[in-house]
Amino acid sequence: MKILVSGASGFIGSALSNKLVLSGHRVISLTRQPVSAGQDAVNWDPAGGRLEGRDLVGIDAVVHLAGESIGDHRWTESRKARVLDSRVRGTHLLAKTIAGLDAPPEVMVSQSGTHYYGFENGDEELTEDSPPGSGFLATVIDHSETATEPAEKAGIRVVRTRSGAVLDPSGLALQRSLPFFKLGLGGKVGSGRQYLSWISLRDWIAAAEFLLERQEIAGPVNVSSPNPVTNAEFTRALGSALGRPAFMPVPSLAIKLLFGAELAEEMIFGSQRVIPKRLQDAGFEFSDPELETALRGMLN
């Protein structure tokens, strides 16, 4: 297939693009950077609403990963506005443009997130049938999922991947934790009872390929391990994988001072015990279903 990938230079996008090429596909990067002749790339300006349909002729599939990063800066009002605008505006522009093609792609896989379900879920198990939650991230994700509707109305199969934290040493989720845990300074955050939905990078990529190929799957799909863990369990597993103690709890106040109260409440203290029911029902097999085994594999 000829597959258009937005966010192809990012943590997930670069790994996915490499794997798709190895699988025999041709990958076209959707980029805001200038494109030179002969480069497998298409230029766009999501903020300015510019994407030329003629540049997308012949595309068989789209994987949409682009958007302002969510967790690497404190949430000021201007920062939140940029996050919401980039994810909604870019998604809608891409969906509308491919919907207007004479021969549109068969499928659009659009990255979403488990924060769709909110952050105040305790130990409740959440499936794709669970209702949306509250909070800034839930609003961003709900609006960005709605922004794919032009493609859906044009008959394109749209898959919305509600992804958990994607774990790999090159990703932000582990990069923040590893230096402290390697020094033996790791520990649970706050109560440690909040649930983390996670998936290894290689399972995320395998799931994306699976969803591109399975024509019967459309709509929201939870892309996360079937075994979500509490923060305390994550702490023990990461410490064990590194062969380091992990008994130094991090006070909630320190986290709120460092990241800001709103980001901390939603992204660090928030709880999402998400179950990938649709992937499991479709027969997808996880290579890394258990956290400690997955961490040992990627860190050693």
Domains of the chain: residue spans and CATH: 2-299 (3.40.50.720)
Q: Is 224 exposed, middle or buried (0-12, 13-18, 19+ CB in 10 A)?
A: buried
Residue with tokens 């799931």: 207
* Distance from C-alpha of 222 to C-alpha of 163, rounded to nearest angstrom: 6
Residue with tokens 């990963």: 65
The DSSP symbol for 227 reads S
pLDDT in tens, the chain (300 residues): 999 999 999 999 999 999 999 999 999 999 999 888 878 999 999 999 999 999 999 999 999 999 988 988 899 999 999 999 999 999 999 999 999 999 999 999 999 999 999 999 999 999 999 999 999 999 999 999 999 999 999 999 999 999 999 999 999 889 888 998 999 889 999 999 999 999 999 999 999 999 999 999 999 999 999 999 999 999 999 999 999 988 888 889 988 998 999 999 999 999 999 999 999 999 999 999 999 999 999 998
Q: Is there a contact between 105 and 4 (Cβ–Cβ < 8 Å)? A: yes
Task: Report phi then psi at 83, rounded to 5.
Answer: -60, -50
In this structure, what token pair is assigned to residue 278?
């649709």
pTM recorded for the entire structure: 0.95
